[in-house]
Amino acid sequence: ALLGIWQLVVEMGIYSRGQLPAPIDVWRAGVQLWDADLFWLNIRVSFERVLRGFGYGAFIAIVLGLIVGLWSIARKIIDPALQAARTIPSLAWVPLFILWMGIGEQPKIMLIALGAFFPIYTNLVSGIEHVDRKLIEAAKAYGYKRHSLAWHVILPATLPSLMTGMRLGLAQAWLFLVAAELIGASRGLGFLLMDGQNSGRADVIVLSIILLAVVGKLCDFGLALVQGRLLRWADTAG
């Protein structure tokens, strides 16, 4: 239905093909990229960047989130600075990363990691802070102390919040990809988007947007399957 309405809007002249290409035009743009062996290449390059950036960002977020969530002193010292950094727009980091690391792969991965970091960190800390007090009191009554209490009670109780943060962080990683691929990229979906803009190819722009949506959704679907397996024990309405 959506494709039909889209085609009809173009055929009726509400938007010109230069403004909104018809679905068949977008398909032809994809075929051109396929014939030039650039279709899967751009998807693979972007996927690898997101995977690496998300991995680094998630690891650092989990480590810092555990430190801040489990130690009140760390929460008072570290959390305010991180919350302030969270409000900085992604593009504001680009000039600094270029100065530090040049225009290779490193600044791109760092920017994607930055995008993934904050949702994971924020949800993990919030999850730890909102662990049911009755669970902690019951665990203490059974003899659990500091480290065993954190490992056997607090961390499992925060796993739903952590997985929600992971999915949000993965979505943010794909959002930050476009900004990252402004940094001297010659391949990738973000580069394809900018190249379509520079060359006036609206069909390439729309194709890039669709590919970003599809690949991003597939990645989220995969993480949702992992979440379902890890949280089989959760007694929820879902």
Give percent of the chain above pLDDT 90: 32
- pLDDT tens per residue across span 189-221: 888 888 888 888 888 999 999 999 999 999 999
Confidence grade of residue 235 (pLDDT, cut at 50, 70, 90): low
Confidence grade of residue 87 (pLDDT, cut at 50, 70, 90): confident
Q: Which of 69, 19, 10, 45 is nearest to 215 (CA)?
A: 45
| Polymer length in residues for the chain | 238
Separation CA 54–CA 216 (nearest Å):
12
Confidence grade of residue 112 (pLDDT, cut at 50, 70, 90): very high
43: which 2 tokens?
Answer: 């998807």
Confidence grade of residue 236 (pLDDT, cut at 50, 70, 90): low
Separation CA 178–CA 57 (nearest Å):
17
Residue 118 reports pLDDT greater than 70: yes
Q: State residue 98's pLDDT score.
A: 82
Element (H, E) at 160: helix 155-180
CB count, 10 Å around CB of 122?
A: 20
Residue 122 reports pLDDT greater than 80: yes
